[in-house]
Structure 1
Amino acid sequence: MKNFIKSFIGDKPFYKELLAVSLPIAIHQLLGGLVNLLDSAMISTWATANLAKAEIGTGAIMLANRYFMSANNITVMVAVAMSVFIAQFFGAKKKENMQRSFGIGIMMISILYFVFAMFGLIFAPQIIKFFATTRQDGALMIEHGTTYLRIILLSFIPLSLTTPIAFALRGTKKTLVPMFATLATATTNFVLNILFIYVLDLGIRGAAYSTLIARFIELSVILIYYLKEKPAFYGSIKQVFSFNKEEAKALLKYSVPTGLAQVITEATVIFMLFSYARIDAGNSTYISAVTISQSVVDLVVAFVGGMGVAASIMVGARLGADKLEEAKQNARWQLGYVAFMGVFSVIVMIAVIPLINSIYGFTADTQAILAVIMIVQALSLPFSFLATNIVFVTRSGGFAKSALLINNLPYLVIKIPLVVVFIFIAPDAFTTSAFYQTLFGNIAASDGLIIFVFILDRLVEVVRFIIGIIVYKKANWVQSFASKKEDKQLVHQ
């Protein structure tokens, strides 16, 4: 047992490299999450004064951000695929391949952002209405959420360049630059929120303007670095876009399973939010509690989740250099580190519950539900982190189906069917049961139902972890595609 545990503990050079690669990524992702959370946090005081209830303003922004984040997360999967290629070509010292992979990434990412932006701009009211409460305050959520969404969707213009450059830099271990660019974004957003929301009294519209301007600042920082320092994948427009059809197909072939997996993941998140909004006619207390708790989890995942991208870079670079055994050892050490950070995150998330309640100024009912949901979220984090890291590790070697197996299979087979039963088909089956009377007999039926469904939701993370271990042990993910002689044989599914 002692030797088994020691096999997951790395040496000093490993942790030095790990922190050098993952810490800037983690801070970058944490700051990126803060940009989205800042608006909902800073609007609460304005919403209390102008909309009579903090939950309305916060809920409107969080619902709009759900579409924005889902669209962004799906598009980022193409950037992740691009960074895997660049990391392996970087390890193999193949500059022209890096340049062409970068060009393919820019093209595909820009197309996706354009499609999501146009869809969101056209159907913004319907998107917000899909999630919003059917109670009286739902009309205000739809009105302000639509306004906010239509403005922040313009952020996809700068992100069309920011995202591919940032992920390409990560693939070549230049992780500090994206971090500083996002720091500038978060700082700009915070300062402009004060000016636009409160000084100019623009409210939710002002919060959206702040975010949009901050995204252009982020692009400016990262673009200046790219043009001035000329990183390993830098090239002229002709060099970057000189890829052939076979190269584009290779990256697309790799991106499709990862992109499809992310589409299913985001669809599941959207379905869950839609389901929670159907409990008690879309009680804004529940909507706010669930969306805020998920945003806090996103921040924790962003910080620890830097490990996932680090896995793609560190393991991918070794695979690209044909150091297969070293890559396996590196992956195992990373899993040990993630397990430790998962346990640590449980403590942190539970500890910040009073702070979150203080920042948002919710009613006592919302605070009580939020506390329970955040505790349940926290307890699921170690399993979630390990499962996610295994996805990144196995994907770095070209096993692109890992996300479909680890993330989507338990969602489609377990989570969604159970939610359909307990929320849409037979909600009374739980609230009238002896089990409910034993555990939730002293609280309202709707409160007990949302807690029960949320527990089911989080228990699926344990199943994901178990499947992840099986994939890690059984799948053929330890392979190099950068060393192949023919570009069209880049990836083995």
Structure 2
Amino acid sequence: MTTARDREILRLAVPAFLALVAEPMFLLADAAIVGHLGTLPLAGLGIAAAVLQTVIGLCVFLAYGTTAGVARHLGAGDLRGAIAQGVDGLWLAVLIGAAVTVVGVPLAGPVVRLFGASADVADPATTYLRIALLGTTPLLLMLAATGVLRGLQDTRTPLVVAVGGNALNVVLNLLLVYPAGLGIAGSALGSVLAQVASAAAFVVVVVRAARRHGAALRPDLPGIRAASRAGAPLVVRTITLRAAILVTTYAVTVGAVADDQEVDLATHQLAMTLWTFLAFALDAIAIAAQALTGRLLGAGDVTGTRETTDRMVRWGAWSGVVTGVLLAAASPWLGRLFTGDDAVRDLLVPVLIVAALGQPVAGVVFVLDGVLIGAGDGRYLARAGLVTLVAYAPVALALAALSAGLVAIWVAFCTVFMGARLVVLVHRARGDAWLVTGVVRAPK
């Protein structure tokens, strides 16, 4: 039985791993290409990336909530209902994306200035952010469509689209930044064009599935409202996670000595980009957890849910050990891939060592987060996120006030923030309150 469950986890997790590793390549490619333009553009990219990741992160419920809801319908034998719920998620993505674009583009400059960076850093950050926000709608469509497919236990199609989209992103970035001479603006534009192409591919796949199984494609306002209400707790959960990232970036900006702000910000950007890259890699098992937990609970299989959760937690812990060892071993050389600034390279090594030590905890945290998302336990995750943020934010801000340095802030991030997440998630997983079976319907 254990071998069968392992095979099922791997069937979903391996393609998800490859797709999730490909996703942050949007930012990794931008960081590598922009980094060779100089330290100032790279520092600007760091601030713009923090804002973009926050905007997209707040809407990750479009993928996570859709995965859980679709998987529950699938487990209950209602395939048409599963796809119909996914289509509602696509329409919700369009509405949110349009609103964010209209509001966000004119506010790009004021938002960047909130980070307190110098004008030399704020200018490239604003340029990148203003253009990149034009890709919000296609990015959200990608999230929602990916959630539909994962809920249907299909992680291979997102892999194919992710690989193709990121290959296109790299080509467009190289062409627009250098031969076209657009600089950091070219990097943002290349990413937006690649995102549009990827979103179009996803939508075609979902539309074909809807037509094949007789699910309606027109907007269903009650269904869209239900999707938004079901996703509200996950938005709160994500706000707390993104707030912790923003607090960390703010602490780095404020806590740096004036002459070293650019170096600290550039180093933090590279470290956070690599952390995000590894988080996506570790999240592969969490994606499998969402899909499998939703399907098993939809089918009423509590015992199978428990057994599968135990196996995935073990997989998460060992995956974290592996990524931690690899990151620590590669830390002396990774900086050369992104920048020619010796000061940034030197500071990056101890920061990455700290991040490497936090990987095993991260592996378990991401899996349990995925299990509870798959179970539809968003309200607990929202409350747990608030507790975690309250525990971490004062520590990060105190370190900034003391000018403790970038390494100390990363130690706090990996111990206080990730440690608090581990405690609240393990506590919940040991109980039974999240083991709700059947199709859970949000109020319309």
TM-score range, shorter chain: over 0.9
| CA deviations over 1:372-404 (Å, ceiling 9, x no partner) | 111111111211221232122123223223323
Alpha-carbon separation, structure 2, partners of 1:147 and 1:63: 11
Who is 1:299 aligned against? 277
**Residue 358 (str. 1) matches residue 336 (str. 2):** yes
Q: Within 5 Å, give how 1:189-338 maps onto structure 2.
A: 189-228=169-208, 230=210, 235-238=215-218, 241-242=219-220, 245=222, 250-279=226-255, 280-281=257-258, 283-338=261-316
Q: Is the 8 A contact 1:161 1:219 kept in 2?
A: yes
Please state how far the C-alpha of 1:101 moved relative to its aligned partner: 1.6
1:420 pairs with 397, 405, 412, which one? Answer: 397
Secondary structure at the counterpart of residue 433 of structure 2: coil
Note if contact 2:44-2:122 (Cα within 8 Å) is conserved in structure 1. yes
Work out which of the two has the higher radius of gyration on C-alpha atoms and give 1 or 2.
1
Confirm or deny: 8 A CA contact 2:243 2:389 kept in the other structure. Answer: no
**1:276 shift after superposition:** 0.8
Q: Shift of the alpha carbon at 1:248?
A: 5.1
| Map 1:5-404 → 2, pairs under 5 A | 11-45=2-36, 47=37, 54-131=38-115, 133=117, 138-228=118-208, 230=210, 235-238=215-218, 241-242=219-220, 245=222, 250-279=226-255, 280-281=257-258, 283-404=261-382
Distance 1:222 1:277 in 2: 38
Write the distance in 2 (CA, Å) between the matches of 1:387 and 1:338: 8
Tell me if structure 2 keeps the 8 A contact 1:98–1:233: no
How has the CA–CA distance of structure 1 residues 161 and 325 changed in structure 2, closer, same or farther, with 3 Å as cutoff? same
Q: Which amino acid aligns with 2:412?
A: L
Query: By how many angstroms is 1:338 displaced?
Result: 0.5
Alignment partners' CA distance in 1, 2:262 and 2:410 = 16
Can you list the C-alpha shifts for 1:121-164, whole angstroms capped at 9, x where unaligned? 1111122222253xxxx323211111111111111232343222
The separation in 2 between residues aligned to 1:172 and 1:20, in whole angstroms, is 13
Alignment correspondent of 1:456: 412
Deviation string 1:16-57 (CA, Å, 9 cap, x unpaired) is 211211121221121110112211211222x2xxxxxx2211
Kept in 2, the 8 Å contact 1:40–1:57? The answer is no
Q: Is the 8 Å Cα contact of residues 64 and 149 (structure 1) preserved in structure 2? A: yes
2:229/2:442 contact within 8 Å kept:
no
The 1:405–1:121 alpha-carbon spacing in structure 2 relative to 1, beyond 3 Å, is same
Rounded to whole Å, the distance in 1 between the matches of 2:6 and 2:357 is 26
Letter in 1 for 2:239: V
- Give distance in 1, aligned partners of 2:395 and 2:168: 43
Contact 1:342 1:381 in 2 (8 A): yes
Amino acid at match of 1:206: G
Q: State the 1:293 CA deviation.
A: 0.5
Gaps (5+ residues) in structure 2?
none
2:72 counterpart SS class: helix
Q: What residue in structure 2 maps to residue 7 of structure 1?
A: none
Gap regions ≥5 residues in structure 1: 1-9, 48-53, 428-445
1:185 is displaced (CA, Å) by 1.1
On the 8 A contact 1:315/1:393 being kept in 2, the answer is yes
Aligned equivalents of 2:140 and 2:427: distance in 1?
Answer: 36
- Taking the aligned partners of 1:406 and 1:152, their CA distance within structure 2 comes to 31
1:474 is paired with a residue whose SS is coil
Once the two structures are TM-superposed, the CA of residue 176 in structure 1 deviates from its matched residue by 1.0
RMSD (Å), alpha carbons: 2.2
SS of residue paired to 1:200: coil
TM-score, normalised by the number of residues in structure 1: 0.84
Deviations 1:188-244 (A, max 9, x none): 111122211111222111111211111122123223333445588773324xx346x
The reply on whether 1:470 has 2:427 as its aligned counterpart is yes
Q: Taking structure 1 as reference, are residues 296 and 96 closer, same or farther at Cα in structure 2, changes over 3 Å only?
A: same
Q: Which amino acid aligns with 1:269?
A: I
Letter in 2 for 1:478: L
Contact 2:59 2:140 in 1 (8 A): no
Is residue 100–residue 242 contact of structure 1 (8 Å, CA) maintained in 2? no
Deviation at 1:278, TM superposition (A): 0.6
Give me the whole-angstrom Cα distance separating, in 2, the residues matched to 1:233 and 1:311: 26
CA 1:233/1:31 → structure 2, altered by over 3 Å: closer, same or farther? farther
Of structures 1 and 2, the one scoring higher in RCO (CA 8 A, sep 6+) is 2
Change (3 A) 1:345 1:206: same
Q: How many residues align?
A: 441
Contact 2:84 2:210 in 1 (8 A): no
- Provide the C-alpha distance between the structure 2 equivalents of 1:102 and 1:171, rounded to a whole number of angstroms: 9
For residues 227 and 119 of structure 2, what CA distance do their matches in structure 1 show?
44
For 1:20 and 1:56, locate their aligned partners in 2 and report how far apart those are by CA, in whole Å. 43
